[in-house]
């Protein structure tokens, strides 16, 4: 009878060891899956961040081009104004030169 009890205890221990081994295996599998999913998620986040960064760069480049175009247009207007002013000054300079020549200087 004692042998039977010992056999039952050993059988129960083997069953418990198997359950523990299976549980550890499942836990390892769950942990590995979680690591894989985390890695995939990190890669997806990196890809999304890169896409967003590229969109921001394109937007900023567009704004910079618009600003550069505005600066060029403003410079061209100022150039025209300076050209017109210089022509007016040429008339004044020619008059002064003529007056000086007429005065004999």
Q: How many helices (H) and strands (E) does the chain have?
A: 1, 0
What pTM does this model have? Answer: 0.53
Give me the pLDDT at residue 105, please: 56
**How far is 70 from 53, CA to CA, in rounded Å?**
26
Domain ranges of the chain: 1-77
> Which tens digits make up the pLDDT trace of 17-52?
999 999 999 999 999 999 999 999 999 999 999 999
> Which tens digits make up the pLDDT trace of 48-65?
999 999 999 999 999 999
Q: DSSP readout, 3-53?
A: HHHHHHHHHHHHHHHHHHHHHHHHHHHHHHHHHHHHHHHHHHHHHHHHHHH
For the record, the structure tokens of 11 come out as 């059988």
Give me the pLDDT at residue 83, please: 83
Across the range 64-68, mean pLDDT stands at: 97
């Amino acid at each position: 009878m004692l042998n039977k009890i010992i056999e039952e205890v050993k059988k129960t221990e083997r069953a418990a060891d198997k359950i523990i081994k299976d549980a550890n295996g499942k836990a390892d599998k769950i942990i590995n899956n979680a690591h894989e999913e985390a890695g995939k998620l990190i890669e997806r986040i990196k890809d999304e961040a890169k896409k967003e960064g590229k969109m921001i760069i394109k937007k900023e480049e567009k704004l910079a081009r618009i600003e550069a175009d505005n600066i060029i247009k403003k410079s061209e207007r100022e150039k025209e104004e300076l050209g017109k002013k210089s022509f007016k000054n040429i008339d004044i300079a020619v008059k002064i030169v003529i007056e000086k020549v007429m005065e004999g200087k």
